[in-house]
């Protein structure tokens, strides 16, 4: 595997448009001339492509898969004002735009489009695949599947504080005011979208390669998360889906994820003892990416 990685070409910086705004992405191509399958990838809650997604893409490319790793509008290298606006519908539009762009690329097998999502985007890929019968396979890693389950996992006081900030932000937006920001991560007891015991240390590990990472988003998002249930779309997905589920997940509760996963027509479920943030690095990463490559080789061969 190391020999393969040593000979990888560097990714190309590319752009595509979503609702008239430019989304920035890395395009990885394998070292062969035949049309290749392509894996489309994006990060979770407030994340960017630099936060360890490149490590997964390098491993997939070494096995012969092209990878398109993009930033959502309002985040990272992509356009969009105001910055740090986390809008579910816009992110789903970005996934559709990324798929359309991938289908326009030369030397890509357009019948072999694969979606890869993690955490919040692990839910987005389920929703997107349910609406696009042309998707060949899906990898959904520690996925957000149920807004109510994730909200109930939060301390009631934190939830109340977030709701108050979100209402103020939504009202302010109607009058053209600048967004009220809320932290993405904080220590237990502090107000943030994620404040479980492993959040701060886990995020610090995966944001090392993104010096521009911003630990906040517009607070209005807190009003939308409880109404988002991508797991309910799993019965409509025609493609095989690999669910990588962390049994001790503090952000996306495993119990509800497994309930939705088991309703998927063509699924494989892998359970891990790792936490929500552990699977991006070290031995946990090696374990998970090996399982994902095995799934890819069996379902969408190069």
Tens digits of residue pLDDT in 196-249: 999 999 999 999 888 899 999 999 999 999 899 999 999 999 999 999 999 999
- Give me the pLDDT at residue 10, please: 85
Residue 63's pLDDT band (boundaries 50, 70, 90)? very high
In a domain, 253, yes or no: yes
In a domain, 117, yes or no: yes
Distance between CA atoms of residues 54 and 118, nearest Å? 13
Q: Is the pLDDT of residue 177 over 50?
A: yes
Distance between CA atoms of residues 193 and 104, nearest Å? 37
Q: Is the pLDDT of residue 3 over 60?
A: no
In a domain, 294, yes or no: yes
Distance between CA atoms of residues 77 and 83, nearest Å? 11
- Give me the pLDDT at residue 162, please: 94
- Give me the pLDDT at residue 150, please: 82
Distance between CA atoms of residues 274 and 284, nearest Å? 7
Q: Is the pLDDT of residue 8 over 90?
A: no
C-alpha dihedral sign at 104, 109, 111, 113: negative
Distance between CA atoms of residues 11 and 232, nearest Å? 35
- Give me the pLDDT at residue 2, please: 47
In a domain, 207, yes or no: no
Distance between CA atoms of residues 111 and 89, nearest Å? 26
Tokens of 283: 């031995």
Specify the residue for token string 């944001």: 207
**CB-based contacts of 50: which residues, under 8 Å, 6+ apart?**
76, 209, 210, 213
Tens digits of residue pLDDT in 276-299: 999 999 999 999 999 999 999 999
Residue whose C-alpha is closest to residue 299's, from 268, 271, 272: 268
Cis peptide before 81 (omega within 30 of 0): no
In a domain, 204, yes or no: no
Percent of the chain clearing pLDDT 70 (strictly above): 97
For the domain that residue 99 is a member of, what is the CATH number?
3.40.50.1820
SS (H, E, C) 49-87: CCCCHHHHHHHHHHCCCEEEEECCCCCCCCCCCCCCCCC
CB 141, CB 269: distance < 8 Å = no
Which position has the higher pLDDT, 253 or 96?
Answer: 96
In a domain, 170, yes or no: no
Tokens of 90: 């816009």
The domain in which residue 258 lies consists of 2-150+229-299
Tens digits of residue pLDDT in 79-92: 999 999 999 999 99
In a domain, 159, yes or no: no
Q: Is the pLDDT of residue 1 over 90?
A: no
Percent of the chain clearing pLDDT 90 (strictly above): 87
- Give me the pLDDT at residue 152, please: 78
* Alpha-carbon distances, residue 111 vs 18, 41, 58 (angstroms): 22, 17, 22
Number of compact structural domains in the chain: 1
In a domain, 182, yes or no: no
Tens digits of residue pLDDT in 99-153: 999 999 999 999 999 999 999 999 999 999 999 999 999 999 999 999 888 887 7
């Amino acid at each position: 595997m190391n020999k393969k990685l040593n000979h990888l070409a560097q990714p190309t910086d590319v752009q595509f448009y979503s609702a008239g705004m430019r989304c920035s992405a890395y395009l990885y191509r394998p070292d062969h001339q035949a049309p290749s399958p392509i894996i489309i990838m994006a990060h979770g809650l407030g994340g960017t492509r630099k936060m360890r997604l490149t490590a997964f893409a390098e491993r997939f490319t070494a096995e012969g898969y092209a990878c398109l790793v993009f930033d959502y509008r309002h985040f990272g290298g992509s356009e969009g004002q105001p910055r740090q606006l986390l809008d579910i519908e816009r992110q789903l539009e970005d996934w559709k735009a990324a798929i359309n762009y991938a289908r326009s690329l030369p030397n890509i097998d357009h019948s072999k489009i694969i979606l890869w999502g993690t955490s919040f985007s692990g839910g987005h890929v389920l929703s997107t695949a349910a609406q696009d019968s042309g998707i060949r396979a899906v990898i959904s890693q520690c996925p957000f599947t149920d807004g109510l389950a994730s909200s109930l996992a939060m301390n009631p006081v934190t939830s109340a504080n977030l709701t108050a900030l979100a209402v103020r932000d939504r009202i302010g937006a109607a009058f053209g005011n600048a967004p009220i920001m809320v932290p993405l991560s904080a220590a237990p007891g502090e107000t943030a979208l994620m404040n479980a015991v492993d959040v701060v240390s886990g995020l610090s590990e995966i944001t090392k390669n993104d010096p521009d990472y911003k630990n906040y988003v517009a607070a209005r998002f807190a009003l939308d998360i409880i109404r988002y249930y991508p797991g309910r779309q799993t019965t409509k997905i025609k493609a095989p889906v690999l669910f990588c589920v962390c049994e001790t997940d503090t952000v996306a509760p495993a119990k509800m994820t497994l309930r939705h996963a088991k309703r998927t027509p063509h699924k494989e479920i892998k359970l891990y003892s790792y936490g929500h943030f552990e699977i991006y690095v070290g031995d946990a990463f090696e374990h998970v990416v090996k399982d994902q490559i095995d799934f890819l080789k069996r379902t969408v061969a190069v």
